[in-house]
């Protein structure tokens, strides 16, 4: 089985976010970038298939040279090869078209992407990718088993979970639950050294349409002041909620 894991290069959740050029550009100064968490769950599951079923695992990223440390981390975790598509991921449809070209050229059986990236939270790339490839698709996937050409997946739905059967080739949009957080891997020194020798192919993007463009960014409003009320003073709490907050 040949697996392709789509990797996004995103800011660490603890990073302080700022914008420049009149709030039209994201300021990357001082920002630590990591593998998108939803993608990392998918990569970890792919490594399970590699170790238990002998799968070959490749990773792919759409981005500039600055994303290569993140890609190398994926290689250090255990991926066999990596591909970097040399383009800025400014539009979900554009990204999906680039990834589709890689899948077509690589004849992959299983494509694992994260449900969404934690920077722009578009959540559109996996579904568009599956449509472009005319492949089966499972969204919000929290469980996956492969037996030959057959796949059993569990996905999160409103109010519960759904277990479904499908077949390869398959695209899934994974998230937390595909593996547990305790299963995520930290590259060891041997993995880091081996990653330096693994193939990282840089390919130029195909000519593809971009349908959206960021116009401006805006931070959430700052939190207002708070009033602390003694736990025993229920009367004051009710008065504040009624007269100031006006919620009762």
Which tens digit of pLDDT belongs to each residue from 117-134?
A: 998 888 999 999 999 999
Q: Distance between CA atoms of 30 and 34, rounded to whole angstroms?
A: 13
Contact 140, 128 (CB under 8 A): no
Contact 126, 172 (CB under 8 A): yes
Report pLDDT for 20. 92
Q: Distance between CA atoms of 47 and 104, rounded to whole angstroms?
A: 22
> Per DSSP, what are the bridge partners of residue 19?
26
Tens of pLDDT, residues 172-207: 999 999 999 999 999 999 999 999 999 999 999 999
Report pLDDT for 219. 87
Rg of the chain (C-alpha set): 21
Q: Domain count for the chain, please give it.
A: 1
Q: Is residue 233 a part of any domain in this protein?
A: no
Range of the domain at 144: 2-218
Q: Is residue 225 a part of any domain in this protein?
A: no
38 confidence band (pLDDT: 50, 70, 90): very high
Q: Is residue 239 a part of any domain in this protein?
A: no
Q: Is residue 245 a part of any domain in this protein?
A: no
Q: Is residue 27 a part of any domain in this protein?
A: yes
Q: Is residue 114 a part of any domain in this protein?
A: yes
Q: Is residue 223 a part of any domain in this protein?
A: no
Q: Is residue 56 a part of any domain in this protein?
A: yes
Nearest Cα residue to 62 out of 96, 33, 112: 96
Token pair for residue 216?
């401006």
pLDDT beyond 90 at 149:
yes
pLDDT beyond 90 at 224:
no
Q: Region 104-126: what's the mean pLDDT?
A: 94
Q: Distance between CA atoms of 147 and 52, rounded to whole angstroms?
A: 12
Q: Where residue 195 sits, what CATH number does that domain have?
A: 3.40.50.620
């Amino acid at each position: 089985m040949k697996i392709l894991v789509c990797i996004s290069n995103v800011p660490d959740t603890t990073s302080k976010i700022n914008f420049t050029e009149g709030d039209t550009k994201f300021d990357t100064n001082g920002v630590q970038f990591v593998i998108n968490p939803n993608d990392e769950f998918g990569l970890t599951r792919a490594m399970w298939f590699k170790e238990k079923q002998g799968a070959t695992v490749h990773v792919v990223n759409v981005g500039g040279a600055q994303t290569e440390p993140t890609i190398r981390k994926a290689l250090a975790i255990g991926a066999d090869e990596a591909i970097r598509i040399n383009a800025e991921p400014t539009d979900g449809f554009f990204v999906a078209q680039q990834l589709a070209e890689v899948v077509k050229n690589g004849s992959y059986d299983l494509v694992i992407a994260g449900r969404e990236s934690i920077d722009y939270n578009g959540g559109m790339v996996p579904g568009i990718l599956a449509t472009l490839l005319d492949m089966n698709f499972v969204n919000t996937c929290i469980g996956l088993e492969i037996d030959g050409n057959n796949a059993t997946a569990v996905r999160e739905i409103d109010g519960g979970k759904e277990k479904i059967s499908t077949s390869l080739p398959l695209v899934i949009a994974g998230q937390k639950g595909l593996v547990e957080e305790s299963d995520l891997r930290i590259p060891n020194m041997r993995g880091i050294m081996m990653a330096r020798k693994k193939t990282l192919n840089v390919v130029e993007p195909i000519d593809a349409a971009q349908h959206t463009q960021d116009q401006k960014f805006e931070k959430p409003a700052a939190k207002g002041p708070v009033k602390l009320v003694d736990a025993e003073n229920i009367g004051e709490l009710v008065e504040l909620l009624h007269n100031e907050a006006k919620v009762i």
